Amino acid sequence: MRRRWRGAVAALAAGLLACPVACTGPGTDRDAGRAPFQAVLDRQAEAVRDGDRAAYLATVDPRAARYRDAQRTVFRNLTRLPFAQWSYHVTATGDAAFPLPRGTRQGPRRVAVRAELRYRVRGYDTVPVRDVEYLTLTERRGRWYVSSDSDGAAGGRRSTRQLWEQGEMTVVRGERSLVLGTGREEAVLRALAADADRAVPEVTAVWPRPWPRRVLVQAPSSLRRMAELLGGPPASYQGVAAVTTGEVGGRGAAPAERIVVNPQAYGLLGPQGRRIVMTHETTHVATRPYTTEAVPMWLSEGFADWVGYRGTGRDPARVAPRLAAAVRQDEVPRRLPTDEDFDFAGDGDRLARAYESGWLVCRMVAERWGREKLVELYLAAGRNGADGTAGGTGDAAVREVLGIGLDELTERWRAYVRAELGDGG
């Protein structure tokens, strides 16, 4: 499944043109006021890049015992990853950052700090990942320390919980993958790496455009931990085997992608089911640079499913049981699914029908026009939104590539659904 980040990550395009974190621009009074806090985070970032545990802990409040213990684990986890970049930029302080919890005060010895974290994993991230950190810094004997990363939660401003903050982390390197896990057996992580390693060449075989041909997989310990990584309620991902994070691209360089695995749902799948899911998610990684907001979800999700199910020999009625049931009751959908039909938080049955519908329309295009035309259709839809146009139906791309309008494509798809899923299918 694809998740479209429209919050903090949606600002990525503008931010990529800004100066690096180490560059703060012309000096101002505001910059000068932030300088002591920026200096602390600069030292911490340098310690991460250098793998210097003592220097890292020297930036952590010696009296914040619980936070300090957690940071020991965080640092140990960070040393297991090949970072090409790690830096902070203080963007606000005091109440402008976030209000400290009741019972504490902003003041000369305690201040709230909002900072942007940028990091890049070597070999996997072509551009930096951005995250917003809400930190509390405390002054002791003339020196500032980071003392908390949870005070912002009281005001509804919680830093995204990264996997390396969720406990002891294990890292497994596959031939074409990097798998990070917490609370998971190493054998399980190696199996995930094998799934990802198999998926990469399967996607490459049908996707002709350049892509890194490797994937980074995150394996949290529970559904709740998965939701922490994705920033949504756990109920939104119940029954969802995996999600690919990242902003839609179309700007020449894809933002970082992470395949996040649901330990409950993914663990219930058999070998073929895992192959289908991992290939689906890997397809999103490959296609992301060409996926603008104008690419309709029926095409992006349908294409990923088409790649995932390709070569499995599964009967259409088995892949699309909800639509098959609708055909038996003479209730074939009258339209292709809208983007809203793919909402995780929506009706589960509607969501399932949306995926089945997208898969069948892409399958039909590949069979009747050829798989090259299906790829061309995807690329054309992405080009049509390269100027930032959102909410596309795909009509212009369908006309350009297939020579018919979306209405006619829909009618052909409805007939195809009846033929494939009806009693004679």
CB 152 within 8 A of CB 99: no
Class of domain 8-160: alpha beta
Report the DSSP pairing between strands 177-182 and 215-219.
parallel
pLDDT given for residue 30 in this prediction: 59
pLDDT given for residue 391 in this prediction: 54
pLDDT given for residue 155 in this prediction: 66
pLDDT given for residue 52 in this prediction: 98
Neighbours of 398 (CB within 10 A): 22
Give CA separation, 370 vs 36, 201, 375, in Å.
61, 20, 9
Give CA separation, 230 vs 60, 148, 161, 244, in Å.
27, 21, 9, 10
User: pLDDT tens, position by position, for the chain (425 residues)?
Assistant: 544 433 322 222 223 223 232 333 333 445 668 999 999 999 999 999 999 999 999 999 999 999 999 999 999 999 999 999 999 999 999 999 999 987 666 666 999 999 999 999 999 988 899 999 999 999 999 999 999 999 988 766 766 789 999 999 999 999 999 999 999 999 999 999 999 999 999 999 999 999 999 999 999 999 999 999 988 889 888 889 999 987 544 444 445 689 999 999 999 999 999 999 999 999 999 999 899 888 999 999 999 999 999 999 999 999 999 999 999 999 999 999 999 999 877 678 899 999 999 999 999 999 999 999 999 999 999 988 655 455 567 899 999 999 999 999 999 999 999 999 987 55
- CATH number of 292-425: 3.30.1490, 3.30.450, 1.10.390, 3.40.50? 1.10.390
How remote is the C-alpha of 61 from its chain's centroid?
A: 32
Residue 73, burial from CB neighbour count under 10 angstroms (0-12, 13-18, 19+): middle
pLDDT given for residue 392 in this prediction: 65
pLDDT given for residue 256 in this prediction: 64
For residue 231, which amino acid is it?
G
Query: Could you say which DSSP state residue 114 is in?
Result: E
Write down the domain spans for the chain: 8-160, 175-290, 292-425
CB 77 within 8 A of CB 133: no
pLDDT given for residue 3 in this prediction: 41
Q: Which of 192, 159, 158, 154 is nearest to 176 (CA)?
A: 192
How remote is the C-alpha of 315 from its chain's centroid?
A: 31
Q: What is the value of pTM for the model shown?
A: 0.86
CATH architecture of residue range(s) 175-290: 3-Layer(aba) Sandwich (3.40)
pLDDT given for residue 32 in this prediction: 62
